[in-house]
Structures are given as C-alpha cells and as structure tokens.
Amino acid sequence: LLPTAIFTPFSSPIANAILSLGVNADLKRAIAFDQAGEYEKSAKELLKISRLASRGHPKAMYEFGTMYMKEGMWIVQSDEEGFDWWLKSANLGYAPAQFSIGASYIGGIGVDKDLNQAKLWLERAMDSTYEKYSKVAKELYMLNELDKI
C-alpha cells in the first residue's frame, strides 16, 4: 500500500495515496503558510496556482484539481471538478496527473469506476520519465491485476 497523506485524510485511501506522493510543492507551501498563520502568503500561493492552471500549466492544473478534491482547501470541495482538472493536466502528459486519473478510475473518485480507463492512464504514467510515478503506477496496475484486462 502507498503511504497516507500528510494532510487531513480524504474519505478514500486512494485519494490519500495520491496526495502523499509529494507533487504539490506550491500547494504544500500554501498549506504551510496557512498553518503558520501567514494567510496573505498562503492566499498569494493559491492565487498563483489558480492563475497558472487557467493558463494551462500542467502542474498547476494538477494542484488546482487537488484543491477541489480536499474539503476546506479554500474552494468548494468537488471530486468531479478535481477530476476534471487532473484530466486536463494528464492530457498534457503530466505523469502525476496520469497516475491520479488512473487511481481515480480504480476507486471511482470523481468519476465512475472503469478499469479499462484505469489501465490506459496507469500505462501512460508507467511510460513517463517520472521514475516515482512510473513505479507507483506499476504497483497499482499490478495490485489491481490490470494486466489481465
């Protein structure tokens, strides 16, 4: 199993695993500022993420999606909206988002469960140059026996 997230837990172990992989550098900084009471700095980080996401920056799109996935993350929680932002990022080739889309299809997070789609997206993450995501995608792929589909 993948490690749990450092944030307040989601309702799903798969969602916890997605956050635990450390792809949210700017989002983590915003959370750290918020927890330290530096709300203005936190707000600036979040604004930066949203602006970059709206301009098509893959990592920012992924982080913006993560903000939607988490209750209390400064915007109204919506697994569906989060999934949509992750999908935009994944379609641009961002391996963390590809992994998260595959995991979402396995767990039915923000989308109906679909093992064929999970297989597709995890294979894309496995083929990426992001070694960490390639490895965890392969583990999730094998754990769910997607090679037999």
Sign of CA dihedral 97, 17, 3, 57: positive
- Percentage of the chain surpassing pLDDT 90? 60
- Mean pLDDT, all residues of the chain: 84
**Radius of gyration (Cα) for the chain, nearest Å?**
15
**pLDDT value of position 7:** 31
**pLDDT value of position 148:** 95
**pLDDT value of position 26:** 79
Estimate the share of the chain in helix, then strand, then coil, as percent rounded to the nearest 5. 70, 0, 30
Higher pLDDT, 37 or 19: 37
Model confidence, pTM: 0.79
Instruction: Categorise residue 148: left if φ over 0, alpha if ψ from -120 to 50, beta otherwise.
Output: alpha
**pLDDT value of position 14:** 56
**pLDDT value of position 73:** 63
**pLDDT value of position 9:** 35
